[in-house]
Amino acid sequence: MDELELNKLLKSYKKEDLFVSEQIKREELVSFTFHSTSIEGSSLTYEEVYSLLNDNIGAPKSMVDNLMNIDHAKAYEFALNEFRKLWGLSEDFIRKVNSVVMKNTGKVVNTALGNYDESRGEFRLTSVSVGTRYFPDHKKVKQLIAGLCDSFNKKIKNKKTGLDILNIASDLHFDFVSIHPFSDGNGRTARILMNAVLFGFDMPRLILQSENKKEYYEALEQTRNMGDKNIFRSFIYSQYVNQLNREIINYRKAKANKTFLTL
């Protein structure tokens, strides 16, 4: 991770007028939603997500997949704008974000310990696992989320550089999915929260590409196994730098072509 490299890229990004802080570009909304839901198994193509979000034209596929994308886009807009008002994390904010993520696909889960409603952002009352990985006991979730919020709010007060902010957002992402406080929507919520932090501090948002899902999951698992957050930080940094470079190059090419056509 190179702080000078990141600062140089952020400066170029802003110079090329790619820096949008006060509003969420529709292109970003569509792209982030498409890739984030695809990571979770959505069958909609980019073009179908674009039509769904911009033209209200549903894809001729699973209703659940259509609703997942609609809810994700709404949760993204809500989280980014709301974080700017709060300048910090709280259990209430996290639960609200997840409730929007799961609004139309969440269900009421019946357990021996009681019922909970996924569509209302209620913490799980059951054990959850992904593959062979089991997450903390549900009895610990509330305390763990309180600790996550407290740690985040302390670290964000002491941030000094863009790299600090990116690392804090990366840690939030990792810590949140490692707790897995909800029975569904944890990955989507984690990626949204990470970008809410970047948006709050006027930094470009990261769109984790669905084609890099394997590397993404491996980075999470290696970080857990090694107990070293620098592994996931390095993964996020590389994805972020690659994205900024790609966007700057594409913008400059488009601008050069436009200038040539007007000559």
Tokens 């290696």, located at residue: 222
Average pLDDT of the residues of the chain: 93
Q: What is the pLDDT of residues 183-239, one digit of tens each?
A: 999 999 999 999 999 999 999 999 999 999 999 999 999 999 999 999 999 999 999
- Do the beta carbons of residue 226 and residue 233 sit within 8 Å? no
- Tokens representing 213 are 């899902």
Q: What is the pLDDT of residues 1-13, one digit of tens each?
A: 789 999 999 999 9
Q: What is the pLDDT of residues 110-139, one digit of tens each?
A: 999 899 999 999 999 998 888 788 899 999
Residue 176 has pLDDT above 90, yes or no: yes
Q: What percent of the chain has pLDDT over 90?
A: 81
Q: What angle do CA 255, 261, 263 make, to 5 degrees?
A: 105
pLDDT band at 254, cuts 50/70/90? confident
Predicted TM-score of the model (pTM): 0.94
pLDDT of amino acid 261: 43
Rounded distance, CA 15 to CA 50, Å?
28
pLDDT of amino acid 113: 86
Domain 3-262 sits in CATH at 1.10.3290.10
pLDDT of amino acid 23: 54
Rounded distance, CA 33 to CA 39, Å?
10
Domain-wise residue ranges, the chain: 3-262
pLDDT of amino acid 151: 97
